[in-house]
Amino acid sequence: MINIFQDRAAKSAVLLIYTGGTIGMKEDPRTGALKPFDFKSIMDEVPELRKFSCKLDSYTFSPLIDSSDVEPSMWQALAKIILERYDRYDGFIVLHGTDTMAYSASALSFMLENLDKPVIFTGSQLPIGRPRTDGKENLISAVEIACAKDSQGKAMVPEVCIFFNSQLLRGNRSTKTDSTGFDAFRSPNYPPLATAGINIKYNLPAIHYPSGQGEPFSIYTRLDTRVAILKIHPGITPEIARHVLCEPDIRAAIIETYGSGNAISKPWFVEIVREAVAEGKILLNVTQCQKGDVNMDLYATGRALKEAGVVSGYDSTTESALGKLFYLLGTSADNEFVKVLLARNLKGEISK
């Protein structure tokens, strides 16, 4: 671990965990190729960070990973890094590639228990070494939010979040919606937790604060990844649907449905769904729409799924549904019990 900046009058301490992705890239002046820069020199790249009265340390993953290669083992490592250093820092910033940032932030939101400090994921669309980079602004604002305390010295945002393009979003409500623009993330079903303009405006009613029972921070890392995702589309065949939903090695499947939770009403599809449910699998209905929720009572096609035993994902993102299933399946071998917990709002991931 490297101490990258220590203000003598530092009031807060923040750990920057650099996992890889575009934000940490710099152009090799000789070849023009992008390569990860040495994080020790972050203060040279972003001298504005010296202006905070904040102690900044960094931890660099080895090897650094393009986030397309993220695996649940990386989330387990991340959770352990945070746990081992939890008492030493007021907040944690995870520098992460944008491609799977919403998956990682969602999974961590379930794996970190009794969190009372901010864990802020951020990254960028342009490398930090490029003149028009969005990485500097994202990092600077994330540090400011990670240090922010209320009048009683408590963290302003004790949640797993994503900061991107002036907005702080709840991690398990976020999704990457733009592959090239700076405004890359949205949280269609939940308002931003904070917005950075001249000042950082905190949306206090939207932020979740710990109940105050004083339970110690802990992590849960036993994930069960036996989950598949089936996206419904015109032309989907019985073979494909059966292959995914009735695969013996899976315990659960997320069905990405149309609109308010509708899928094919043809008898062959409903029959496959019934078969999978009879085998004890959990089928979770999540809408393909970015905004809005699943309501299986609205149309006959949705009702057929409900009657066949499909459970509602409400207004969950797919990223969040996947993290929640990995986590819940890891906590229990009883699929019926997992179904009960799926319907509960555990970490602000569904509007219920």
113, 332, 340 from 328: Cα distances, Å: 13, 6, 10
Nearer to ligand ASP by Cβ, of 151 and 180: the residue is: 180
185, 279, 281, 282, 335 from 251: Cα distances, Å: 30, 9, 5, 6, 8
The piece of 62-70, 83-91, 142-150, 212-220 that touches ligand ASP (CB under 6 A) is 62-70
The region that residue 12 occupies, defined by phi over 0 for left and psi between -120 and 50 for alpha, beta otherwise, is beta
Q: Supply 211's token pair.
A: 């109940």
Q: Supply 245's token pair.
A: 């939903």
Strands 112-113, 218-219: pairing is antiparallel
Nearer to ligand ASP by Cβ, of 98 and 175: the residue is: 98
67 binds ligand ASP, rule: CB under 6 A: yes
Nearest-CB residue for ligand ASP = 97
54, 281, 327 from 118: Cα distances, Å: 15, 35, 20
Can you tell me the distance from the alpha carbon of 349 to that of 332, in angstroms, rounded to the nearest whole number?
A: 20
The piece of 15-23, 225-233, 244-252, 328-336 that touches ligand ASP (CB under 6 A) is 15-23
97 binds ligand ASP, rule: CB under 6 A: yes
Sort 18 into a burial class: Cβ within 10 Å, 0-12 / 13-18 / 19+. Answer: buried
Sole binder of ligand ASP in the list 45, 90, 99, 159 (CB under 6 A): 99
CB of 10 to ligand ASP, least distance (A): 30
Question: Residues 98, 123: contact at Cβ < 8 Å?
Answer: yes
60 binds ligand ASP, rule: CB under 6 A: no
Question: Residues 75, 107: contact at Cβ < 8 Å?
Answer: yes
Residues in contact with ligand ASP, shown as a per-residue x/- string from 117 to 156 under the rule CB under 6 A: ------x---------------------------------
Nearer to ligand ASP by Cβ, of 97 and 330: the residue is: 97
* Identified catalytic residue from 19, 22, 287, 317: 22
98 is catalytic: no
The piece of 18-26, 81-89, 201-209, 309-317 that touches ligand ASP (CB under 6 A) is 18-26
66 binds ligand ASP, rule: CB under 6 A: yes
Nearer to ligand ASP by Cβ, of 63 and 248: the residue is: 63
68 binds ligand ASP, rule: CB under 6 A: yes
> Residue length, the chain?
352
How many beta carbons lie within 10 A of that of residue 231, not counting itself? 13
Nearer to ligand ASP by Cβ, of 97 and 171: the residue is: 97
CB of 24 to ligand ASP, least distance (A): 9
- Catalytic residue list: 22
Binding site for ligand ASP (CB under 6 A): 20-22, 66-68, 97-99, 123
